[in-house]
Amino acid sequence: MNGTPLVLVSIASVALGRALCENRGSRAIDKKQREFLERRQRELFDQAPEHQALHEKLLSLGGEMVVPLFESYLKPILDRGELLDTEDYAVTFVSGATSQCHANACNLWEQDPNVYQIYTGWALSPDGLWRQHSWVLDRWGGEIIETTEPRELYFGFGMTHDEASRFVEENW
C-alpha cells in the first residue's frame, strides 16, 4: 500500500464550483458519443437489468446520460445512497492520481479513518455524464474531499469502517 499523503492544492468554494460548472450537467453530448453510450447501456441492461433502476435514479437528479459500467455496490447505493450537492457542501480539492478516485479515497481514509469517510457511487460531471466515482467526506468539517476533477452532484453511500477496510483491500 502506498501511504504517500495527498497534497492539498486548493480549496474551492461553492462559488468556484458553480463557476466551473455553469449549467449543471447540461453541456451537449456529441452524436457519436451518445450513440456509443446508448449501445453500451443496452448491453449492460441486457446483462444486468437491475442497473436500470440506478440509471433512472441518477437521471432523475440531473444530467444527460450515465456512463454504463457494472456497479458492484449497486445494492448499497440504491438502498443507502444519498445526494450530496455542491451547492450545499463545500468542496476541497486535493491532488490525487488522475482517474484513480477509488485509490485516492483509500489513501485519504488510511491517513485518518476517524476523520475521513469513504463514499462510493456516482458523480455528475460538467459534461452532463454521471460517472462511477469515489470521494471522501470530512466528518468534522462536513465537506466533500475531491481528488480528481470538479463535479456537480454526488450520489452514493458512506461506508462503515468495515466496508471501508474491505474497499481499501479491493482498490489499493
Give the structural domain span for 156: 7-171
Total domains, the chain: 1
State in Å, rounded, how far the first CA of the chain is from the last one. Answer: 6
Place of cell 466528518: 139
Lowest-confidence pick of 13-17, 96-100, 167-171: 13-17
Q: Is residue 67 situated within a structural domain?
A: yes
Any domain includes 2: no
Average pLDDT, the chain: 88
- State yes or no: pLDDT of 65 exceeds 70: yes
In a domain? residue 38? yes
pLDDT of residue 29: 85
* Amino acid at position 45, single letter: F
62 within some domain: yes
* Of 104, 117, 103, 84, nearest in space to 146 by CA: 104
The verdict on residue 11 lying in a domain is yes
Query: How far is it, in rounded angstroms, from Cα 172 to Cα 169?
Result: 6
Residue 120 has pLDDT above 70, yes or no: yes
Residue 91 lies inside a defined structural domain of this protein: yes
Inform me whether the pLDDT recorded for 61 exceeds 50: yes
Q: Where are the beta strands (DSSP E) in the chain?
A: 7-12, 65-66, 82-85, 91-95, 116-124, 129-138, 143-146, 153-158
- Say what the pLDDT of residue 8 is: 39
Q: Which residues of 99-119 are buried (b: 16+ CB within 10 A; e: fewer)?
A: ebbbbbbbbbbbeeeeebbbb
pLDDT in tens, 2-51: 444 443 333 333 333 333 334 455 567 899 999 999 999 999 999 999 99
Asked if residue 1 is part of any domain, the answer here is no
Are 97 and 67 spatial neighbours (Cβ–Cβ below 8 Å)? no
Please give the grid coordinates belonging to residue 122. Answer: 456516482
Assign 96 to helix, strand or coil.
coil
